[in-house]
Amino acid sequence: MKYDKAYFQPAVDYIKSQIGGFEPKLGLILGTGLGGLAAQIEDPIEVSYKDIPNFLVSTAPDHAGKFIFGTLCGKKMMCMSGRFHFYEGYAFEQLVAPVRVMKMMGVERLIVTNAAGAVNTDYAPGDLMMITDHIKMTGASPMCGPNADDFGPRFFDMTRVYDRSMMAVARECAKRAEIKVHEGVYFFFTGPQFETPAEIRAVRVLGGDAVGMSTVTEVLTAAHCGMPVLGFSMISNMAAGILDQPLSGEEVTEIAEKAGPRFSAYLADVIRSL
Ligand code: HPA
């Protein structure tokens, strides 16, 4: 299968038929616990993933499964409430869908967010980390298979995908709000199992500050089509083996939801300032 513009055109046509001429410019993918920000979108128009042809259906718990279009802090947004993960059973190649559809809808820049486990022991649950780079050591990529030349080249640059000018704006916002936003490297695991303590020690040696099971497929797809990205992790837990206790999905969701409002307020200010 070639996931090119012709493949996604029915999805784009359907979405356009639902949103009455609205032209989104900024994409936002909301991670666990960040649903609150979606509620602030003015005049929202929702489009369920399940109604979109040639698209994917969200299966993860706590992920709503819809695009929300509307204005947030003065920006015309295409927001994903609920996202797609490799561990749900999709092939990496299928995971290009959301960002390619965003690109075809006219989205120029992308903000990605997630909940992540802290590998860096200077971090604590509830903290925020701006993603300055990532590491993915699992072999496959969303860009495997025939290249969709109408989105980008076969081989593409990853040195500047986390956009320096957007990061500078985010830094200024943190300074103004007097909140600490760490800057670190997001290390991707496919999941759905959490990592072993030995894997987390390895991540630390390799230079990772936080671990998670999302985001990187979206960032790669954005990089391929030349879309600048700003990324944030909300630290929901210390990664495996740091504390003498097991990890659970419930803990991740609980902490992410508790820290959600503070993160949302900061993110709203970043969106306004971009
Ligand atoms: N590991 C992987 N993914 C995660 C974690 C974690 O510790 N916390 C939230 N998402």
Residue nearest atom 9 of ligand 1, based on CA coordinates: 116
Q: Give the pLDDT of the chain (274 residues) as one tens digit per residue.
A: 899 999 999 999 999 999 999 999 999 999 887 878 888 999 999 999 999 999 997 675 555 699 999 999 999 999 999 899 999 999 999 999 999 999 999 999 999 999 999 999 999 999 999 999 999 998 889 999 999 999 999 999 999 999 999 999 999 999 999 999 999 999 999 999 999 999 999 999 999 999 999 999 999 999 999 999 999 999 999 999 999 888 888 888 888 788 888 888 999 999 999 9
Tell whether ligand 1 has an atom less than 6 A from the beta carbon of residue 116. yes
Q: How far is the CA of 75 from the centre of ligand 1 (A)?
A: 30
Residue nearest atom 2 of ligand 1, based on CA coordinates: 212
Q: Which of 38, 100, 89, 97 is nearest to 63 (CA)?
A: 38
Angle at 184 between CA 210 and CA 201, to 5 degrees: 40
Per-residue tokens: 54: 């040639």
Global pTM value = 0.95
Per-residue tokens: 260: 């959600």
Angle at 172 between CA 221 and CA 70, to 5 degrees: 50
Q: What domains, with CATH codes, occur in the chain?
A: 22-142+164-273 (3.40.50.1580)
